[in-house]
Amino acid sequence: MNTYVVKCKLIASECDILDYHNLVFKILESNCPFGHSYALITVFPNWGARVPEIGEIGYLMYDEVMAGDTYYNRNTDSIMKYNFSNFIFKKFIKEADNSKKDIII
């Protein structure tokens, strides 16, 4: 499993009936780990982190997992394997809006 942080903008979002959020981000920097312009990231149900709103710009932390990678399931107190390769949401930090700072002359 690898963890990445990229500057990006959320451009599309959908939530399925099982409460998985699928987010499409436009990558805003040229040093994206995979050289792609867009990333589809999955937020698991009950993740507990704030999901960004469409149009928000900020810094996305996500994991790249491969089918067969393992994780700890706290609900069952056991080690589980991922069934599918995926990019998994960890957190999003909104970029500060510097245009609203007071200017003192």
Q: Work out whether the CA dihedral 31, 33, 34, 37 comes out positive or negative.
A: negative
| Domains of the chain: total | 1
User: What tens digit of pLDDT does each residue of 1-29 get?
Assistant: 889 899 999 999 999 998 899 999 999 98
The letter for the amino acid at 35 is G
CATH number at residue 80: 2.40.50
> Is residue 104 in a domain?
no
Is residue 18 domain-resident? Answer: yes
Residue 56 domain-assigned (yes or no): yes
Whether the predicted model's global pTM rises above the 0.85 cut: no
Cβ(52)–Cβ(23) below 8 Å: yes
* Per-residue model confidence as pLDDT tens digits over 17-65: 988 999 999 999 866 666 778 999 999 887 888 889 999 999 999 999 9
* Domain coverage including residue 14: 2-95
Q: What is the DSSP string of 8-47?
A: EEEEEEEE-TT--EEEEEEE-STT-TT--SEEEEEE-TT-
Q: Considering the domain boundaries, does residue 100 fall inside one?
A: no
